[in-house]
Chains A and B, each alone.
Chain A
Amino acid sequence: MKKQKLQQLYKNEILPENENPYHFQEPLEASFSIEAYNSMCGDKYTLYFDTCEGQISSVYFYGIGCALSKASISIMCKNIENLNVEDITDLSNKFILGINPEHPNNDSNKKIQMLQKLIDLDGREDCIKLGWETLKNHFENNEL
């Protein structure tokens, strides 16, 4: 990826999401929370979930990390509200699989497509996947 393309992506997609992330705060109460932590780089967020009738009714997140991991988790949070465990596991699995250029994903969500294309951004795959991997690992092994 050329520098100009990187700047465009950051300017149009990453920085707006990074500067105004969705539900970026510690809620007073939550049904449960999980930690998204990349021990290689130090990025660490807590994801807070509220549940209602077998679905995630709202997600908040808070923590410290790079613009890319924060933007990716922000987009993720917007896309998992009002989904059940099966749908969330399916979405996170497809997202992670779609990061691999050998398994292109035709997700209709433009923001998710944009994140997956960032795989061209050398060495930042873990930043993009951090929240999604955390989600996948949790919901594959836990029920609501």
Chain B
Amino acid sequence: MEHHANFIPWQMLAKKYQIELRIVPMNKDGDLDLTELKSLIDHKTQLLAVSHISNTIGTIHPLDEITGLAKNKKIPILIDAAQSACHFEIGVDSLNCDFITFSGHKMFGPFGVGILQVSEKYLGDMTPFNLGGGIIKDVQIGKTSFLNFPHNLDAGTPNVSGVIGLSAALKLISKIGKSDMESHLNNLTLFALDQLSQVPGIEIIGNPKKRIGIISFNLKNIHPHDIASFLNKDGIALRAGMHCTQPLLRSLGLHATARISFSIYNTEKEINKLILSLKDLIKFWS
């Protein structure tokens, strides 16, 4: 279910330290199998990592339930909030987790900058993952000591412009209001699902219990990349491909999908335009 960014690092760690990596399966609707999750968590479990929202299907995972399961067994939890940080109130306290990560470019910020929030409980465990200037407290020939978190994680020349850009993006989001943004995205998602269901030959990928902002689909006999090229000519930008979720697509027996995702600037009028464009393409292709 996870984006490669929340999968490959664990896979590599598992290989390096000979740790067992357990994958929670999902059902055909695109919901995580929580019964299976319960059976996968035991006294050996060192960390539970899960996204808040699936970047391919748009599933909003039931974090209350998931974090509850982990907390009961005193397992630290990491939440990949890349898809939710822009329009959901997040934080290690409000989401009852230990680590939160998200990236700037999904919330009107620049590329190459993001945030890792760590709960107080684990601050002391955060040691440098790469080394260089800017993270040092004291260096002697025989030993080095480091600044405290978060300053010990930002070795080398800092990405100053990126951080300033992200700060400006966060101020903008705060000004607009996340609650209004979530409401707008929710309305657009429901409207789009209703309209898309009327497109002949469309297969909407997944039918999760809760979803927002992201819808993957396929059209009969038209490859997602060809869909993207034609819609591009109508001024509609969507992504085609595997969306950095190859295991997810394989589990659904798919090779690629077309994916639409919404933001605060999108409108119902644009969704109507999308539907017309898809119908036009289907007519042309036949």
Contacts and interface: CB of A to CB of B under 8 A. Distances in A.
Partners in one complex: yes
B233 A2 contact: yes
Interface in B222-267: 222-226, 229-230, 232-234, 240-242, 246, 249, 255-256
Interface residues of B, number: 19
A97 interface: no
Contacts, number: 50
A52 interface: no
B284 interface: yes
Contacts of B256: 41-43
A15 B226 CA distance: 11
A66 B226 contact: yes
A122 B229 contact: yes
A3 interface: yes
Nearest to B242: A42
Contacts of A41: 225, 240-242, 256
Interface string A99-129: 0000000000000000000000111100100
A44 B222 CA distance: 16
Contact of B230 (A2, A6, A42): A6
A122 B255 contact: no
Contacts of B240: 41
Contact of B225 (A2, A3, A10, A127): A127
A67 B284 contact: no
B226 A67 contact: yes
Contact of B233 (A3, A42, A66): A3
Nearest to A2: B233
Interface of B is mostly: helix
B230 A65 contact: no
A47 interface: no
B146 to A, nearest CB: 37
A123 B232 CA distance: 10
Contact of A124 (B222, B225, B241, B242): B225
Contacts of B246: 42
A124 B227 CA distance: 12
A1 B285 CA distance: 18
Contacts of A2: 233
A7 B255 contact: no
Contacts of B242: 40-42
Contacts of A67: 222-223, 226
Interface string A116-144: 00000111100100000000000000000
B241 A40 contact: yes
Interface in A51-67: 64-67
A77 interface: no
Contacts of B233: 1-3, 6
With a 10 A CB-CB cut-off, give which of A3, A122, A124 has the most chain B CB atoms: A3
Contacts of B241: 40-42
Given A10-B284, A41-B240, 6 more contacts: A15-B285, A40-B242, A42-B242, A42-B255, A66-B225, A124-B229
5 contacts: A15-B285, A41-B225, A67-B226, A68-B229, A127-B225
